[in-house]
């Protein structure tokens, strides 16, 4: 019963990412897109990476991060929109956090 979480808002401006993390399950995946890319630099992301230790699939859309001049981190996957479509098929449900 896996869920794909599409995170589209900055955690510095809204509570969405925190709410997303509070319902996150083991087999879930996260995609950071649009302003969600800013969360790469948020302390919530640091604690998430420590907590899940590679068990949760975390992705960022490369062009969205690049457009915002955000340095990405090597420990997460860099994907494009075609990959997002594929992820939606590989998960039971999708939640958009926006």
Partner 1 sequence: MTIIEQQTPAILPKESGLAIINSKAPFSSNHGKDALDVALIFGSFEQKVSLFFQGDGVYQLIANQDGRLVSIKDYLKTFSAFEFYDIEDIYACQQSLVNRQLNETFHINDVQVLTSIEFGKALNRHQHVLRF
Query: Whole-number minimum distance, CB 71 to partner 1, in Å?
Result: 9
What's the CA gap between 86 and 79, in Å, rounded? 11
51 touching partner 1, by CB under 8 A: no
**Looking at 58, 64, 87, 97, which residue binds partner 1 (CB under 8 A)?**
64
15 touching partner 1, by CB under 8 A: no
Reading the block at residue 59, the tokens are: 């992705």
What's the CA gap between 53 and 51, in Å, rounded? 6
Residue showing tokens 């990476």: 49
**Looking at 63, 88, 90, 93, which residue binds partner 1 (CB under 8 A)?**
63
């Amino acid at each position: 019963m896996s869920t794909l979480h599409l995170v589209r808002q900055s955690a510095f401006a809204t509570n969405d990412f925190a709410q997303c993390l509070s319902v996150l399950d083991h087999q879930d995946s996260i995609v950071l897109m649009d302003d969600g890319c800013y969360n790469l630099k948020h302390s919530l992301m640091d604690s998430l990476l420590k907590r899940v230790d590679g068990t949760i699939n975390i992705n960022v859309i490369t062009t969205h991060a690049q457009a915002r001049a955000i340095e990405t981190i090597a420990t997460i996957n860099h994907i494009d929109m075609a990959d997002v479509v594929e992820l939606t098929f590989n998960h039971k449900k999708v939640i958009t956090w926006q």
